Structure 1
């Protein structure tokens, strides 16, 4: 029996959709342009990927008529491992080392090459009070000093959200209590390899940081706008855990950035 992941991923168009979504979240019209296929065909194959549990869709907070599609990289990794094991038990990957309780463990990225400048990443959202500072802190934490990372907002507030500070301290052992939100204007003119927008609204207004900056979107709900009946702790914990997963998947990509010397 052919493993389900192989049946899904082996189709050329579905493989293109998977590889495009691996970089970040995209709308249907953007996928149509990238894969050069008609809308009905793209929508059909997206539905199959959603039915297979590899892709999810969420409504845009900027335009409720739009949806962002997202690839579940963790689920893909498990499916790939199961596919290998179906061929031969020796192809089953070794279990990764367990993380310390509380999520405070630090991943071990490959050491930088001699003479190579550090990759630079900017995270952007509207207020720069929750999502983007959480992502900034997590990437700095996991990268161990080998990535230059900052965050900013289009309409920064006066201070970080208390639960953003709390979840980083309690779940990851990171102290950002002295950090203050900054405006996107404050980082204009700086060189970035990746500009990652976390808010659907800020994606539409984020300034241009040059041709070398790869624009990526992670459509992340605002934890400060918690649904009725949900505690702030639960919502902030879920958003932080999601950003932590995405940051960990970003680290191997940053290892592939070519050397840059100013």
Structure 2
């Protein structure tokens, strides 16, 4: 057909290995530690660590130290880069395969947790509500709630996303622990180890996001959370349930 054979896209070369694909799929559900990945894929540490290094070199996976145990690390899948790579793969095969998804209904409710409920979890709650136009029931809480919402959280939501959370008060996990949630998403490593069990067997997801300090850090943190929120939407989409 063509004058030369097309090169296999780099993403396919990297992700085509069965174990690397399984690691990507597990990390697609949330941030995990090496021992958790070992349990999920049923492979020894040396093999899991080797393929994680390959994925990190390819820019698909990153690692960050746990704020709960500094000797440990959480691995994170860069969904934005994966989405871009997959779009490139589709375009390389046929231009019509590059298209944007459209979402409709959402599973509810969702709970976001962090330690103080003054920044990360509140930002996540606000952005999910904003991105879905209020069509998802969402709340947030903290294991050790602070007395007031961070001024930088109020500022970044107002200036960057047009969301007003002035007057909000952090709330304790105890106030929501008897409620049923479809998803409970922790945003800090400490609260993941301390949050209570919730009724209804919710899906537990972890996003390992360091606590921001200073407004520039809040801008970066809000952007990262917003990216994760946008990639969470198809997971929450309910239209597939009605088919």
Q: TM-score, normalised by structure 2?
A: 0.92
Q: What stretches of structure 1 move > 3 A for 4+ residues in a row?
A: 88-91, 256-259
Deviation at 1:258, TM superposition (A): 8.4
Is the 1:27–1:69 contact (alpha carbons within 8 Å) kept by the matching residues of 2? yes
Alignment of structure 1 residues 167-246 onto 2, 5 Å? 167-223=156-212, 226=213, 232-246=214-228
Is the 1:109–1:143 contact (alpha carbons within 8 Å) kept by the matching residues of 2? no
- The 1:145–1:89 alpha-carbon spacing in structure 2 relative to 1, beyond 3 Å, is closer
SS at match of 2:28: helix
1:109 alignment partner, one of 95, 100, 103: 103
1:166 alignment partner, one of 130, 133, 155: 155
Is the 2:179–2:199 contact (alpha carbons within 8 Å) kept by the matching residues of 1? no
**Structure 2: runs of 5+ lacking an equivalent:** 1-6
- The 1:27–1:162 alpha-carbon spacing in structure 2 relative to 1, beyond 3 Å, is same
- 1:39 partnered with 2:21: no
Is the 1:16–1:35 contact (alpha carbons within 8 Å) kept by the matching residues of 2? yes
- Paired residue for 1:22? 28
Q: Distance in 1 between matches of 2:156 and 2:191?
A: 23
- Paired residue for 2:83? 77
Deviation at 1:257, TM superposition (A): 8.8
Q: Distance in 2 between matches of 1:160 and 1:84?
A: 43
Deviation at 1:233, TM superposition (A): 1.9
- Could you report, residue by residue, the CA deviation over 1:139-197 in whole angstroms, capped at 9, with x for unpaired residues? 01111122110000000011000000010011111010011000000001101000000
- Alignment length (residue pairs): 235
- The 1:182–1:108 alpha-carbon spacing in structure 2 relative to 1, beyond 3 Å, is farther
Alignment of structure 1 residues 53-64 onto 2, 5 Å? 53-64=59-70
Q: TM-score, normalised by structure 1?
A: 0.86
- The 1:157–1:142 alpha-carbon spacing in structure 2 relative to 1, beyond 3 Å, is same
1:67 alignment partner, one of 73, 89, 102: 73
Deviation at 1:85, TM superposition (A): 2.3
Deviation at 1:5, TM superposition (A): 0.4
Is the 2:180–2:200 contact (alpha carbons within 8 Å) kept by the matching residues of 1? no
CA-atom RMSD, angstroms? 1.7
- The 1:49–1:153 alpha-carbon spacing in structure 2 relative to 1, beyond 3 Å, is same
**Structure 1: runs of 5+ lacking an equivalent:** 97-106, 113-117, 227-231
Deviation at 1:111, TM superposition (A): 3.6
SS at match of 1:23: coil
Deviation at 1:211, TM superposition (A): 4.9
Is the 2:152–2:215 contact (alpha carbons within 8 Å) kept by the matching residues of 1? yes
Deviation at 1:8, TM superposition (A): 0.9
